[in-house]
Chain A
Amino acid sequence: MARDIIYYNPSIDANKQKLQHVQDIASLALGVGAGVLTLESAYGFIFYFVGLTVANFLFYSICCENQPKKFFVKPLQDVYLAGIFTNIAGYIMMWCLVYALVKSSS
């Protein structure tokens, strides 16, 4: 007889916030990096998606301690997919700023 697992909601929220914190910093750092490398158009977006996925992979492999089911309800979706579009705005901001600062036209 399979019973539903009872979840403890504060822990779910705390884990999501920790993931969000890592993704915040990762997206800002990636934005600065993209600006420093003066990536343009599609390369910049590819850099973001690859970079954030690598950051998520680091989070997944370090923080989840080989038992992701214990920390996320749907581990793959929550870690890899949920934050990828919501964090792009911060990335674009840092990218534009550092790009403008680094790239001098004169």
Chain B
Amino acid sequence: MKHIFFFSILLTGLALVGCNKKLDTRPTQSIDVDDALLTSNDVKVALVGAYRNFGDNNFYGGQLAVASELLANSNELGWSGTFQGLTQIYNKAIPVDNGFITDIWIWGYRTINDVNNVLQALDVVDEDSKDRVEGEAKFIRGSALFDLVRMYGKAWNDGDPNTNLGVPVVVTPTAGITEASLVKRNKVAEVYTQVIADLTDASNKLPVSNGFFATKIAALAMLSRVYLQQGKYADARDKANEAIELAEENGYRLMSNYADAFPYTDPPSATGNTDEDIFAMQVTTSSGENDFQTYFSALGRGDIAIEDAHLNLYETGDERLNLFYSSGGTVYTGKFDNLYANVPVIRLAELYLTRAEANFRLGTSTGESPADDIKKIRDRVGLPEITAANLTLAAILKERKLELAFEGFNLHDIKRQGKSIGQLTFNSPKLVFPIPIRDIRVNPNLDQNEGY
């Protein structure tokens, strides 16, 4: 009797435990995709998330620019780092499985997918914010595509951009992997068309003032950069001019000291945007990454030394020289010493230099004469004015090189001018990144670049 009693109790226990609901567990720090983009706020935070990936150290957080600076170097930078991937780039002997080049590609397209999700969910965004959200998303996509095509495709001025392979233009978000995921590379010109369309849309839809997020000014500035790369000087000039006028109206200005454009604090702390930052990737102590600091600063890995060949380019008295410092016999740039400084993407100085160059090339003075624009740059660093009579294109380009040194401009400026890097001419296949082998492996529609 007693036995049967226990027996039945135990059996009941068994039945109770045997309940299917026990298998329904839910994640706590992530949510299902189907629940992620339902409200206006959902989409806005997804847009913030896109900036997070945009500014990842593998992409706009520094690695993209550092890799391009190393590739552009002939004798001004000394690389002594231990990361093989960057050594390969520095030596222009890049295997197709280079991890840094793979990561830049991955994070570029990750960012693009993020904003594609945002753009697809625009319908749920409240009317007041819709244009801004769309503008920011397109600013990010246009900028990302522009940098991808510049690094992984032939230069605009190298052969025919209508036949040269660029990078895949992806404008729809990924829900699953299908045949449609096996994208082809678009032609260089097609990518530029998409870039210009995105940035133009962005410049039309974005507000002038938008905190540290992308603004109308940033979109115009990025457009001027694209046009300059294409050698479309009138467009470059006009967009730069439009951006400058809006910027000046809205309190942007060159910092009075060059060093203040690269704020350093001890201990390192988040310094936010300076008055001359048109657009910068945000870094705080708890989010964002600054890979310029990692490689260029002696306080980081100190992998990149500045050689005399670079230092000798400066005129005596150039205050920009003061930013270099020596540590144990090696010279480093002091531009990026603050671990938590924002990563500069567009500074006002670039716009003056672009406007000056375009005006000069066109013989115009839209907005300001080239001499006056260059004066702004030189005044600030304690250098004497170059009069309009003495101003040359070479002087403008040199000013641009020194003002924007190490910020990711060198490679693309060399290419658009058709100059060489050491023994390599601007159109050498070695100055174009390979398409990462991992993607070639899984996507038969992707063609590899010449020389890889």
**Do chains A and B interact in one complex?**
no
Q: Which residues of chain A have a CB within 8 Å of any CB of chain B?
A: none
